[in-house]
Structure 1
Amino acid sequence: MSIAAAGGNSGEPAADSGIGGTRGPAGARPVRRRPRDRRAQIAVAAAEAFSALGYHGVSMEEIAARLSLSSTALYRHYPSKYALFRTEALRLGAVCAAATRFPPEAAGWSVEQRRRHLFDAVIGAGIANRRSTALLRWQGRYLEPEDRAVVAADLAAVAAAGRALLGESRPELDEPTKTVLAQSIQSIVSSIGDHHVALPARVLADRLRAACLAVWRCELPPPGGPHGRPAPAVPPTFTHELVLKHAVALFHEYGYPHVSVEDIAVAAGLPTPSAIYRFYHSKGDLLAAAFRRAADQVSAAIGPAVAAAPSPAAALTTLVDLFVAGSFAERELTFVYYAEISNVPSDQRKRLRAIQRLNVEEWAKLLAATRSDLTPAEARLLVHTAQALVIDLGRRFGSDDPTCSRQRVAHLMRIILFGDATADAVP
């Protein structure tokens, strides 16, 4: 099943000469043909730009430059940036929904055959559209309500297909548990849009398939249990902390581009917007400060966990528990960290990315020391996948739904990292 993104060589083809070509009389200028799929090329290039830099971080001029087009030529194909954004978002949503449809002959297949087909189709679509996936994951909030509803329905079809097959394969599961497992499988596939771990397509597909199957088969702990620890209250005298807290809450609810310094000042109870500049140089500096906090919390846990653990597997298990607890305590910050990284000033974004890479590398070393079947790149892939799962389940279920408790999320992380054969044996 091929669900590759429309694309191809973005350059203009050279003009032909002679019979059937486009060159006129000797010495005349060659006529350059427009590629038949130029419109599709533009949409894919725009989606990749939106995924990397955010919808508000890209201009039509920048998209035109990526394709060596003039702005005038670009506007001939799409009347606005939103039209481009909408086109590719709807296409990606439709691709996701199409991957869940079975061919007519599937009526005679076993549940296992249909499960294999579903995994292969969804994973194939995800890999084919990897460079554009983040557009739906993190930029979908900027779609108009009607368009957002269409995309949401398409994505819901993926989860619904997973739930239906899980019901046939594992009739003992209740509906909430099937929803958690189906959402986890969807997260595993879509998470590859969040990072650039380079693996051959076949290896990438195999690792994603194995992780999906491990989640499909896993036995979750009973629902319920303690929720995440509450975020500590900020004393009213700690103005810089109040500003940071309210800024993150506003970025989470409305999106960074739609929040002004004045909005933050009002939420924090400051007399004027200029009061914020006593603590932060700009709105971008405020965002970077929040990101540094999130990255530093993950970094600070690694050394003590390794020092206190009897094995790499035990150390990684401790880090999983701490990561889940931290995410449950600060849901808004973890979402903003993934969704708004493109809005951090460039120099600070590079430093934050470096910290994130080092954190993933340390986790991956522990995982590779536990699983000899993984290459370093495969270990990094699984670390990214497991960490993204926590954010995705948090967006779907929040921190108070007992069907997606801390214990269940941590168990799913271990399943992805260690595999279904070893997850339950890890101390």
Structure 2
Amino acid sequence: MDAHKGRAPRESASGENAAPRVIRRRPRNRRAQIAATSAEAFGALGYHGVSMEEIASRLDISSTALYRHYPSKYALFREEALRLSTLCAEAVQLPDDLADASASLRLQHILDTLIEKSIANRRGAALLRWQSRYLEEEDYRVLIDQLIEAYRVVGGLLAEARPGPAGADSVVLATAALSIIGSISDHHVSIPVRSLTKLLRTACLDVVRSDLPPVGEPPVSDGATEVPLRFKHELLLRRAIELFHERGYPNVSVEDIANAAELPASSAVYRFYRSKGDILAAAFRRAADRVSAAIGPAIAASDGDPERALTRLIELYVAGSFAERELTFVYYAEISNVPQEDRTVLRNIQRLNVEEWAKLVVGVRRELSAAESRVLVHAAFALVVDLGQWLGPDNPICSRARVTHLMQVILFGRPAATTR
């Protein structure tokens, strides 16, 4: 008889049966797990808001184990940011079997590939959209060059597929299409992958096939009106947002804000706001309230016509965003730095605003579900930020009229048929 057969379980010193020893083996894909988890953390909380200990905790490993894979938080951040930008550059490389295909077919293939990659990396792609500016200069240049290549290829194929639009128009339409694809990293709307793929593809094609309004005269910015010095709290708020936009929230001190607002000392800031985070929250509440305040009057003046109401809301949204371009960007890029309690309130306001817009979209396009409509609303909002960031806030090729037109195309599938 085998000596081990029938052996009683080993007892501990206390007389109780000892639990079998659990051997934890390191997963073969540990590095990939670290990359995915860190990208999600950086995208949600910001580069400066995440520590190696936070990432290790999410992975249920020790920080010492994490440092065995990456020597620093920056090394981890850099690798994942450049991995995502490399995916974009690779997605616009055509396979050999499409070399002789029509420009339209090649463009559709690239858009489909970008959509597939974006969905697969949705939970971490916010890192690429909003946190990449915290890369060191050399790394940032590599990332931007890769993204520019993606924009160049899409714009070139669009111009080839549609000889009509001028070169500048192709740039705007390509930027709009890529903005639609990237916007899914800005929200958590739950929708099946197949439905999301079809929705993004349709929206991109609607945009690239649309005819932009004429460029016209260069727009006159109405966001540069000077705040009277006696309104110190307003001046302080504006100067703070300008600095957050230029340098990034973590790189701006209260002293910097005081100097920009021409206050005698940094302590003077605290007469108006409790903290730097409170300044950011106050600006964000104002932006959220501006969007909320427009909904009721627009619906009331529409005589029950959802397209008319939404057309008016788009006009108001574009006007408000153009008046506060820095704030529109900072809202997306820095919301993770708002104190948690304020962030929860802001997220709730944003969610309610999106739901009201989505109800109007469904009223116009009854074939869409509520979730699909919310995805399109988020895409329309993101478009305003992305056009300003990539093409310049005062560039006449992305004027108010053109941004308004593109928001309509995203939400209606065509330009608006009604006017207010």
TM superposition score normalised by structure 1: 0.91
Please give the root-mean-square deviation of Cα atoms over the aligned residues, in Å.
1.4
The counterpart of 1:398, out of the listed 364, 368, 392, is 392
- In structure 1, stretches of 5+ residues that fail to align are 1-26
Q: Deviation at 1:390?
A: 0.5
What is the match of residue 218 of structure 1? 210
- Distance in 1, matches of 2:418 and 2:105, equals 31
2:367 pairs with 1:362: no
- After superposition, residues 36-51 of structure 1 pair within 5 angstroms as 36-51=28-43
What is the match of residue 92 of structure 1? 84
What is the match of residue 329 of structure 2? 335
The counterpart of 1:236, out of the listed 229, 240, 245, is 229
User: What secondary structure sits across from 1:198 in the alignment?
Assistant: coil
- Distance in 1, matches of 2:340 and 2:298, equals 32
User: Cα deviation per residue 1:140-176 (whole Å; 9 max; x = unaligned)?
Assistant: 1100011111111111121111111112111122111
| Matched residue type, 2:340 | S
- After superposition, residues 60-139 of structure 1 pair within 5 angstroms as 60-139=52-131
What is the match of residue 10 of structure 1? none
User: Cα deviation per residue 1:100-129 (whole Å; 9 max; x = unaligned)?
Assistant: 111111113222321221111010000000
Larger radius of gyration: 2
User: Cα deviation per residue 1:14-69 (whole Å; 9 max; x = unaligned)?
Assistant: xxxxxxxxxxxxx9845432112111211110000000000000110010000000
The answer (yes or no) to whether the contact 2:311–2:416 under 8 Å persists in 1 is no
What is the match of residue 208 of structure 1? 200
The answer (yes or no) to whether the contact 2:309–2:360 under 8 Å persists in 1 is yes
- Distance in 2, matches of 1:323 and 1:233, equals 22
What is the match of residue 6 of structure 1? none
The answer (yes or no) to whether the contact 2:104–2:158 under 8 Å persists in 1 is no
| Matched residue type, 1:140 | S
What is the match of residue 317 of structure 1? 311
- Distance in 2, matches of 1:227 and 1:373, equals 39
- Distance in 1, matches of 2:367 and 2:20, equals 62
| Matched residue type, 1:272 | A
What is the match of residue 23 of structure 1? none
| Matched residue type, 1:307 | A
- Distance in 1, matches of 2:114 and 2:22, equals 44
What is the match of residue 245 of structure 2? 252
What is the match of residue 353 of structure 1? 347
| Matched residue type, 2:399 | S
The counterpart of 1:292, out of the listed 285, 300, 315, is 285
Name the stretch that deviates more: 112-121 or 123-132: 112-121
| Matched residue type, 1:246 | R
- Distance in 1, matches of 2:270 and 2:92, equals 51
User: Cα deviation per residue 1:351-399 (whole Å; 9 max; x = unaligned)?
Assistant: 0101111111111111111111111111111100001000110112233
- Distance in 1, matches of 2:311 and 2:84, equals 35
What is the match of residue 254 of structure 2? 261
| Matched residue type, 1:238 | F
- Distance in 2, matches of 1:231 and 1:349, equals 28
2:141 pairs with 1:149: yes
- Distance in 2, matches of 1:270 and 1:107, equals 62
Q: Deviation at 1:198?
A: 0.6
User: What secondary structure sits across from 2:82 in the alignment?
Assistant: helix
Q: Deviation at 1:233?
A: 2.5
| Matched residue type, 2:278 | D
Q: Deviation at 1:227?
A: 3.8
User: Cα deviation per residue 1:290-342 (whole Å; 9 max; x = unaligned)?
Assistant: 00010011111111111111311011001101111111111001111110000
The answer (yes or no) to whether the contact 1:229–1:325 under 8 Å persists in 2 is no
- In structure 2, stretches of 5+ residues that fail to align are 1-18
Name the stretch that deviates more: 58-67 or 300-309: 300-309
- Distance in 2, matches of 1:113 and 1:289, equals 48
The answer (yes or no) to whether the contact 1:288–1:344 under 8 Å persists in 2 is yes
User: What secondary structure sits across from 1:132 in the alignment?
Assistant: coil
User: Cα deviation per residue 1:223-250 (whole Å; 9 max; x = unaligned)?
Assistant: 0344443344311001111110111011
- Distance in 2, matches of 1:148 and 1:45, equals 21
What is the match of residue 269 of structure 2? 276
Q: Deviation at 1:195?
A: 0.3
The answer (yes or no) to whether the contact 1:188–1:211 under 8 Å persists in 2 is yes
| Matched residue type, 2:298 | A
- Distance in 2, matches of 1:184 and 1:426, equals 23
The answer (yes or no) to whether the contact 1:198–1:377 under 8 Å persists in 2 is yes
TM superposition score normalised by structure 2: 0.93
What is the match of residue 180 of structure 2? 188
| Matched residue type, 2:345 | R
- Distance in 2, matches of 1:267 and 1:228, equals 21
The counterpart of 2:24, out of the listed 28, 32, 54, is 32
| Matched residue type, 1:154 | Q
The answer (yes or no) to whether the contact 2:103–2:158 under 8 Å persists in 1 is no
2:155 pairs with 1:176: no
- Distance in 2, matches of 1:231 and 1:53, equals 31
The counterpart of 1:377, out of the listed 368, 371, 376, is 371
Q: Deviation at 1:425?
A: 2.1
The answer (yes or no) to whether the contact 2:114–2:181 under 8 Å persists in 1 is yes
| Matched residue type, 2:396 | P
The answer (yes or no) to whether the contact 1:312–1:370 under 8 Å persists in 2 is yes
